[in-house]
Amino acid sequence: MEKATILLVEDEESLASFVKTELELEGYQVIWVQDGRAALEAFNHGSITLILLDWMLPVYDGLTVLRRIRQSSDIPIIMITARSQTSDISMALDQGLDDYITKPFEIEELLARVRVIIRRLNQSKPASHDYQFGPFHLDLLKHQFAVNDQAVHLTPKEFALMLALMEQPGTVLTRDDLLNQIWGYDFDGQTNTVDVYIRALRNKLGDYRNLIKTVRGIGYQLEANHNEA
């Protein structure tokens, strides 16, 4: 899964650099800007997953930024508010704010709120283009496959086979399932075709070849090695 990018809009430098560091430790990429206009520019630039938005900001305040962004996007926004704004928060929620946290806050609480939203985003993604299983990473859009971040070239059939396995990790796929899915129902070649391709695929996986398990008499399955090194 790709790293989430968080746009942090906060003009208090010490707070911002603390929050930025904590988010980065959690594995997020962070873009930090200090005023409302820069926030809109960074947002328009694209590839932001979530926005952490301070309310009181130079140029445009957080509420203005929220309204502008909501005209075109439902990107998750968590607002950072001071106590004095809590009475206005229901208005912001009405305008599409997802969540808020009141200063001063515990960093763990902020991180938890971010995590909840990111998890929800990942679950609601209709169709993934990105599959991860242990050391394997398959990017459907770029048609790339990598083992531990090292690109591994797969033929189109090997790629399709890997995709089928990675779409349903832990599920046993029968030879017929795989033949139908990858070669098509009217395929009239050898029944051991799947085995031949699985062997070729395993040869490209090096030390991780055993993550593709043979389920005797049935088919194949992608499964984590719990007992083996």
- Residues near Ca ion, by CB under 5 A: 11, 54, 56
Least spacing, CB of residue 49 vs Ca ion, in Å:
22
Cβ-based nearer residue to Ca ion, 54 or 98: 54
- Cα angle value 24/44/130 (rounded, 5°): 55
Q: Which helix (H) or strand (E) holds 44?
A: helix 36-45
Least spacing, CB of residue 56 vs Ca ion, in Å:
4
Residue whose beta carbon is closest to Ca ion: 56
Least spacing, CB of residue 50 vs Ca ion, in Å:
19
Least spacing, CB of residue 82 vs Ca ion, in Å:
8
Cβ-based nearer residue to Ca ion, 12 or 26: 12
Q: Which helix (H) or strand (E) holds 198?
A: helix 193-203
Cβ-based nearer residue to Ca ion, 27 or 104: 104
Cβ-based nearer residue to Ca ion, 4 or 65: 65
Cβ-based nearer residue to Ca ion, 15 or 164: 15
Least spacing, CB of residue 72 vs Ca ion, in Å:
24
**66: CB partners within 8 A, 6+ apart:** 53, 77, 79, 92, 95, 96, 97
